[in-house]
Amino acid sequence: MTEIKLKTPLTLADLKKLKTGDNVLLSGVIYTARDKAHAKLLSEKTMPAWLKGAIIYYCGPTPPPPGAVTGSLGPTTSGRMDKFTPQMLSKSGIIATIGKGGRADAVKTAMRGRAVYFAATGGAGALLAQTVKKFECIMYPELGAEAVYKLEVENMPLTVALDLKGKDIYRRDK
């Protein structure tokens, strides 16, 4: 199985090379945000600059034990963020999201041609933690696991679940 190595920041040209089902090893910077962080970010008067071209990881990590970079940090169900995603795309200019499970049609339409969606292995948080080199809370620390964390990852294994053309890995009938 071939794996495509990607390094952030990703450009539209990088995304164009990706096809649904491709296995990717991602290195660089990604940011966590889940339910509460999405609601809060969208209620901000101005979007934080780091969001432009960013990769959002739907994840609420366990606290890092002493001496460890991070705790367990696998993906959460992306579908819960579907209500926010079209707005996030238009307001912030994010370029990719990482999570698990299918996306709503409205999200697929909003993503087409401008962002991709990667699946990380749900329930493999201990393994995914091994790919994290730096872990830092940058926004909303009061939200605990739901805060925004900046992660530096190295060879994080992902699968392209929705490419720029909108081909969906979860539509197994097509």
List Cβ neighbours of 122 (8 Å cut-off, separation of 6 or more).
74, 75, 77, 100, 101
Q: Applying CB under 8 A, does 130 fall inside the site for another protein? A: yes
Q: Applying CB under 8 A, does 144 fall inside the site for another protein? A: yes
The two beta strands, 23-32 and 148-162, are antiparallel
Can 122 be counted among the known catalytic residues?
A: no
Residue 72: CB minimum distance to another protein, A? 4
Q: Which of 93, 85, 92 is nearest to 110 (CA)?
A: 85
**Cα angle at 174 between 19 and 163, to 5 degrees?**
20
Find the binder of another protein among 24, 57, 88, 100 (CB under 8 A): 100
Find the binder of another protein among 38, 74, 147, 160 (CB under 8 A): 74
- Residue 80, judged by CB atoms within 10 A of its CB (0-12, 13-18, 19+), counts as middle
- Report the site for another protein in 103-122 (rule: CB under 8 A): 119, 121-122
Find the binder of another protein among 15, 26, 60, 153 (CB under 8 A): 60
Tell how far CA 104 is from the center of its chain.
Answer: 16
Q: Applying CB under 8 A, does 102 fall inside the site for another protein? A: yes
User: Which residues bind to another protein, rule: CB under 8 A?
Assistant: 1, 36, 59-65, 68, 71-74, 76-77, 79-80, 100-102, 119, 121-127, 129-130, 144-145, 157, 159, 169-170, 172
